[in-house]
Amino acid sequence: MPRPVLVLFRNDLRLADNPALHAATESGAPVACAFILDDETPGRWRMGGASRWWLHHSLAALSTSLKERGVRLILRRGRFDDEAHTLAGELNARAVYWNRSFEPAPASADKSLGARLTASGIEAHGFNASLLFDPAAIKTGSGTGFRVFTPFWRACLAAPAPRLPLPAPAHLNAAEHASASLSLEALKLLPVKPDWAHGLRASWTPGEAGARDRLASFLDGALGHYADMRDRPDIDGTSRLSAHLHFGEISARSVWHAVQHATAVSPSLERNAAKFLAELGWREFSAHLLFHTPDLPERNLRGEFDAFPWSDDLKALSIWQKGQTGIPILDAGMRELWQTGTMHNRVRMIAASFLVKHLLIDWRRGAEWFWDTLVDADLANNSASWQWVAGCGADAAPYFRIFNPALQGEKFDPDGAYVRRFVPELANVPARHIHAPWDAPESVLSQAGVVLGKTYPHPCMDLAIGRKRALEAFSELKKAA
């Protein structure tokens, strides 16, 4: 019998436009497929609870798709390079195919695996399946990585366009060699308390089919007003593709070309499509930053912030995490996060700004909370975005740009629909007062059934005082520099 080839799935849980799977199929050899749950290589950045829930269901969907094509998905647990090398030996594989990771720890594991396979006489083939552009290939004129988005994106758009997506194989020639596999349940990805995931189940359909449906819905709906409505948390104005992209249930290339095709068919979409593709560009930029700055999740990109006087107020951190700050738009966002595993991007910025500026809590504490609670928790996006808001990252918002959450709520949730959905205690407060109930007349609150300090918290921080304190801290930082 011909020796088989092994395909390793990672954050590429799809059959369509999967370069590793495509190349393995084109080799003509029998194919074995595997997924290795590696909680060791990432260290402190092992997947959080919400991501593990998503992974369980995405693996179930992938396993079904492979089974329909005659191949079972082998599940293992352990270090990626160790388990992959062992499995290749068990199968007597002549080659191993996988899609590379650009994150520091997994990239190191990729390098280790390639060397070990080669030393064992096994071919090693790695591909880029997660990004539109290879982060090593996009460089400044001096040959370094970019630190500012606009010239980075300009360089991307000047590079060869992302290739067309590859088709999913209609059938796979399964390897006959048997190899032990864990059950999906044995990976223990689901929460111990099933009720914790109720909101996740109601909000998402993990898997490749769910990703395709979500893209189709976006193209037929929100794309048409994306540029104007993407900042509105009260309406369906975004793609909601981030988790599908993170787990690789759909490729960035597939999304790119689908949007380009939609624009070609309907030229009136051009402005909205350009804005959306630029948001894909920010995803690329974050990956680019992490690739060139491996310590991005732990260290300030701007070193002068190493001396910033962060607060260790654990009580304030807990209030922020639970959505009990007494600031309606912020509490709505934090509760949306806990209930659904996501938070609207505009509200993410509001929540992050409040934590690092009004509460003076280290951005890394916020990044850790998002890492555990977001279904789309992505190391590059999470790290770069938190540093951007904190003012210590690449192309960052100035530290003195401090969101006023009440004004942000009035602007982007004008009727209070978003707040009413996630902060039902305020459901009967009139729109003109819902984002700053502390300023509402007592009669208005009484009629709405709201008693501040009882049915809904008083603000944990006076917004004006918090802003003044943040500016003073930044001023001292500048003096020290």
Residue numbers annotated as active site: 279, 282, 310, 345, 363, 386
Burial of 270 (0-12, 13-18, 19+ CB in 10 A): exposed
Q: Reduced to 3 states, what is the DSSP secondary structure of residue 127?
A: strand
Closest CA to 106 of 60, 38, 20, 155: 38
Which residue is listed with tokens 């390079």? 81
Q: Are 14 and 208 in contact (CB under 8 A)?
A: yes
CB atoms within 10 A of CB 424: 10
In 164-323, the DSSP E strands lie at: none
For the four alpha carbons of 407, 413, 418 and 424, in that order, the dihedral sign comes to positive
CB atoms within 10 A of CB 72: 16
Residue type, 269: L
Burial of 107 (0-12, 13-18, 19+ CB in 10 A): middle
CB atoms within 10 A of CB 231: 17
Residue count (the chain): 481
Q: Are 323 and 333 in contact (CB under 8 A)?
A: yes
5 phi, psi to nearest 5 deg: -120, 150
Question: 352 Cβ partners below 8 Å, 6+ apart?
Answer: 363, 366, 385, 386, 389, 390
Q: Are 319 and 460 in contact (CB under 8 A)?
A: yes
343 phi, psi to nearest 5 deg: -150, 140
In 78-227, the DSSP E strands lie at: 95-99, 123-127
C-alpha angle 474-479-481 in degrees, rounded to nearest 5: 95
Q: What is the rounded (10 degree) CA torsion for 90, 95, 96, 99? A: -170
DSSP per-residue letters across 426-451 = GTTS-HHHHT-GGGS-HHHHHHTT--
Joined together, the tokens standing for residue 9 give 């799935």
Burial of 351 (0-12, 13-18, 19+ CB in 10 A): buried
Q: Are 426 and 455 in contact (CB under 8 A)?
A: no
Q: What stretches of 144-206 show up as alpha helix (H) in DSSP?
A: 149-158, 198-203
